[in-house]
Structure 1
Amino acid sequence: MTRAIQPLQPIKSTFSHRMLRIAASCWLIVASVGQWLFGFYILLFYGKTTLTSDFERWNRVLPHGYVAGDWVGNLIVGIHVLLASILVIGGPIQLLPWVRHQAPVFHRRLGQLYLVTAIVVSIAGLVMVWTRGSVGDTIQHYSISLQAVYIMGFAYQSIRYAKARQFNQHRIWALRLFMVTNGGWFFRVGLMSWLVINGGPVGFDPQSFTGPFLTFLAVFTYAIPLSVVLLELYLYACQTLNKTLNYLVSATIFLVTLLTTIGIFGATLGLWFPQIK
């Protein structure tokens, strides 16, 4: 990548590059709304159950989330889910150009909090996966573990370039971090989009939470994150004059935006809102 790249903003002014900008903006708006909905769900559901000491309700949405007598494990789970709200609420805010340009101190402090939180949440997630008997198969567990490695590596790179005041490179690594950090959100949205489109579970067993579709979804959400692949394609397309590639990437982003919208709709009405009543 060259230092001339401006994340979320193509460096050309051709029509094909304007389409890239529009496609990226549409996805960002949809994803931001979806992440904020998820973040408020986390605060309302886990906050309410914590304040009322109704911890067993965690198991309704997070298998093995609460284990009687295991206060250390329960604390780790609580830290993981509650700090996750900082990531899904604060992440989209960090990407707003207005915040970066008009409130640089806030942007810097929120960014520091985001980085630390991402690392803590990833470590807590590793502990949960390998000590709590998480649902899913071994491939899913290893995929999630690899996601944690990505998060810590991308966070380091983001910090390194920020300290070196190479802000274009810093923003690119921050975007990569944003994509891998939200793997859990992408997984949920992807799953709900699949369920809505198919009218129910297809390609997996909802009881054991295993099956070819879930394995595929875990691998390409966590281990080989398609979100990062698409981001790299977008960043490359921003630099090239290849109109065919630009239109192809734009169309792919629009398709992903549509699927994301379907997934958010399904998750909000089918998973999140019913649990906070």
Structure 2
Amino acid sequence: MTDYASPQPVAARPGRARNWLSLSAKTWFAVTAIGQWFFVVYILGFYVPRVSANGPKGLEGTHLPNGYIEGDTIGNIAIVMHILVAAFIIAAGQLQLIPAIRQRMPKLHRWSGRFYMGASVLVVVAGLYLSWAREAAIGTNLQSLGTSTGGVLVLIFVPLALYAAIKRDFAAHRRWALRLFMVVSAVWYFRLIIFGWLMTTGGAFMDTKTFTGPFLLVASYAQFALPLLVLQLYFWAEKPKNKAHKTWVAGVIFACTGMMAIGVFAVTMGFWIPRVFT
């Protein structure tokens, strides 16, 4: 009995580790999907009616800093495109991450992927223009540099993901596409970080009026650096030689997902829903 039973815990441990890692990834996706669709509802419910009724001038009086500037036609068009196209990018990004769509509807996966990449580049170019062509109404240049760095990474990851797909190196394509998803989602992550921090600390180390402070400086870089770091840990834990580390990496992903859930709740209930329905 001892000889028969003794191998079982050793054999079961890697399987359990794989299950925890897979479950952590699925939990992350579920929270991400819910949170990003709330963001889409906010964009469609708050911005679209205003822009549809008044054009770019509809952004006047919203919370956006420099949202509408009289006479700045290029800038006004850029900010409308930057905001409204984001809703479609989020939807396309969700389609890219669903395995059933990749497997059963490959054409939809390819075309939504092409749109995702192309639209992401357009939105980033518009965002970079807005960050540096207009005088900053809030924040500092270092904060703008952090946000812009995330945008530049989008411009790097798009061709790398596309090249891997063209070469039919689907393993590499998956890795670059997921990295692209993380940096494209940086503006969403930024909102989770800020509102989660406000809810749990009351806004320590930040000035909400000028939108400056040590925490906001860190957040402007963490919005893309932290998701990329956790994703890289996930890639590392996936490798068979690192199976002993799968469980603690899964724990890291669960912990980060929990913090994301706090941010989703805070920004949805405290900002997005009130602005759409009141």
- TM-score, structure 1 normalization: 0.90
Q: 1:114 aligns with which of 113, 116, 121?
A: 116
- The corresponding residue for 1:255 is 255
- The corresponding residue for 2:155 is 152
Separation in 1 of the partners of 2:79 and 2:248? 41
- The corresponding residue for 2:219 is 217
Over aligned residue pairs, what C-alpha RMSD do you find?
Answer: 1.6
Shift in Å, 1:220: 1.8
Q: Is the 8 A contact 1:189 1:267 kept in 2?
A: yes
Change (3 A) 1:101 1:271: same
Separation in 1 of the partners of 2:247 and 2:64? 40
Q: Does 1:162 align with 2:162?
A: no
- The corresponding residue for 1:195 is 198
Separation in 2 of the partners of 1:139 and 1:245? 36
Q: Is the 8 A contact 1:16 1:243 kept in 2?
A: yes
Separation in 2 of the partners of 1:82 and 1:17? 39
- The corresponding residue for 1:183 is 186
Change (3 A) 1:38 1:79: same
Separation in 2 of the partners of 1:57 and 1:122? 19
Change (3 A) 1:137 1:59: farther
- Secondary structure (helix, strand or coil) at the match of 1:136 reads coil
Q: Is the 8 A contact 1:66 1:74 kept in 2?
A: yes
More helix by share: 2
For residues 46-195 of structure 1, what are the structure 2 equivalents within 5 Å?
46-53=47-54, 55-134=57-136, 135-195=138-198
Separation in 2 of the partners of 1:59 and 1:21? 45
Larger radius of gyration: 2
1:122-179 Cα distance to aligned partner (Å, 9 max, x none): 1000011112333211111111111111001100001101111111211111000000
1:15-52 Cα distance to aligned partner (Å, 9 max, x none): 11110000010011100110111012112211110122
Shift in Å, 1:56: 4.9
- Secondary structure (helix, strand or coil) at the match of 1:209 reads coil
Q: What runs of 5+ residues in structure 1 fail to find an aligned partner?
A: 1-11
Shift in Å, 1:240: 4.0
Q: Is the 8 A contact 1:46 1:58 kept in 2?
A: no
Q: Is the 8 A contact 2:14 2:243 kept in 1?
A: no
- The corresponding residue for 1:6 is none
Separation in 2 of the partners of 1:274 and 1:163? 44
Q: Is the 8 A contact 2:36 2:90 kept in 1?
A: yes
Letter matched to residue 259 of structure 2: L
| Comparing 179-188 and 85-94, the one that deviates more | 85-94
- Secondary structure (helix, strand or coil) at the match of 1:67 reads coil
Change (3 A) 1:254 1:160: same
Letter matched to residue 188 of structure 1: R
Separation in 2 of the partners of 1:78 and 1:146? 21
Shift in Å, 1:98: 0.6
| Number of residues of Structure 1 aligned to a counterpart in Structure 2 | 263
Shift in Å, 1:221: 1.8
- The corresponding residue for 1:20 is 21
Shift in Å, 1:261: 0.7
Letter matched to residue 47 of structure 1: V
Q: Does 1:275 align with 2:275?
A: yes
1:43-76 Cα distance to aligned partner (Å, 9 max, x none): 2211110122173545433111111222221111
| Comparing 249-258 and 132-141, the one that deviates more | 132-141
Q: Is the 8 A contact 1:43 1:85 kept in 2?
A: yes
- The corresponding residue for 1:31 is 32
Separation in 1 of the partners of 2:44 and 2:155? 25
Q: What runs of 5+ residues in structure 2 fail to find an aligned partner?
A: 1-12
Letter matched to residue 171 of structure 1: R
- The corresponding residue for 2:4 is none
